[in-house]
Amino acid sequence: MMISRIAVFAAGVAAGAYGTVKARRAAYRLSVPGLVDQASALGLGWRELRGEIADGMATHEQTQYLKITRKQQQ
Amino acid sequence: MPVDVTILVVTVLVAVVAVVAAVVAVRALREVRRVDAERTERSAQVVAVEPEPVLPEQIGPAHESHPVQVVEGRVVATLTQQDLLEARLSRPLARVSVYVHGIAHALRPESRDRITALMRREYKRRRALRLKVARRALRSVPHETLARPDDWMGTVDDTDHGYPRAVGQ
């Protein structure tokens, strides 16, 4: 009986702590500083994506270049 | 001169003018058709005399010292191997292919995960920094400014602590 009460109490504390942390994070995400941070992270992601696309294009161009050169030499 | 004779003469004159005008119009139409036919024939001849395509094998190292030559009054540019390659790679289909490969490269699982992790890390870093600055600002305020008086129960606190006040207070 006592043990089950303690278990229920511990579960309640854990759920409360978890819910509080999640709620605080969600509130921060929806606040103005949170939105600014998300926009900044999005900008960083966009820059990285553009860099990756440029890398892929350069690699493919180089491959095509070598392929055409090899075909002409044959 | 009676009226009916006058009308007859006028009618004859109008008929003569109409016949002359019709003849002139028919002649002009024939002339226009002839000119059009000649023009079409000339343009067909121009299309028929299309220059032979320049093959990469015909361009040797002997021409590389003279990239632009004048042959029979016409400027002929000698294409190098590099020029041909660039022209081939700058075709619209080749450009689209290059773009598609670039996007596919960027959307590979490893690139995608890396970018997502980078974004998440940046967001957490900025949030931690902001919270840290806020905590530091809170710590820089003297404790007495924020402490509430102990005798709040049953008393009216009319001391001015110098708090910033909202509008209307």
pLDDT at residue number A1: 74
Please check whether residue A65 touches B, CB under 8 A. yes
**Residue B27 falls inside a structural domain:** yes
pLDDT at residue number B39: 85
pLDDT band at B108 (very low <50, low <70, confident <90, very high): very high
C-beta atoms of B81 and A44 within 8 A: no
Please check whether residue B95 touches A, CB under 8 A. no
pLDDT at residue number B81: 78
Q: What is the pTM of this model?
A: 0.54
Instruction: Say which residue, B123 or B72, is predicted with more confidence.
Output: B123
**Residue B146 falls inside a structural domain:** no
C-beta atoms of A56 and B103 within 8 A: yes
CB B118 within 8 A of CB A48: yes
pLDDT at residue number B152: 59
- Measured in angstroms, the CA of B76 and the nearest CA of chain A are apart by 23
Measured in degrees and rounded to the nearest 5, phi and psi for residue B68 equal -125, 125
Check whether A41 has a pLDDT greater than 80: yes
From the list B81, B103, B119, which residue is nearest A45 (CB)?
B119
- Measured in angstroms, the CA of B163 and the nearest CA of chain A are apart by 24
Owning domain of residue B20: 1-50
- Measured in angstroms, the CA of A10 and the nearest CA of chain B are apart by 29
Q: Mean pLDDT across the stretch B65-75? A: 74
Here the tokens at position B27 are: 């002649």
Domain boundaries, chain A: 2-73
**Residue B8 falls inside a structural domain:** yes
Look at chain B and report how many structural domains it folds into: 1
- ipTM of the shown complex: 0.81
Query: Which segment of A17-26, A42-51, B30-39 scores lowest on mean pLDDT?
Result: B30-39
- Residues B14-62 have pLDDT tens digits of 999 999 999 999 999 999 999 888 888 877 765 555 555 555 455 445 4
Q: Could you tell me the CA-to-CA distances from A58 to A67, B89, B91, B113 in Å, in that order?
A: 14, 12, 16, 21
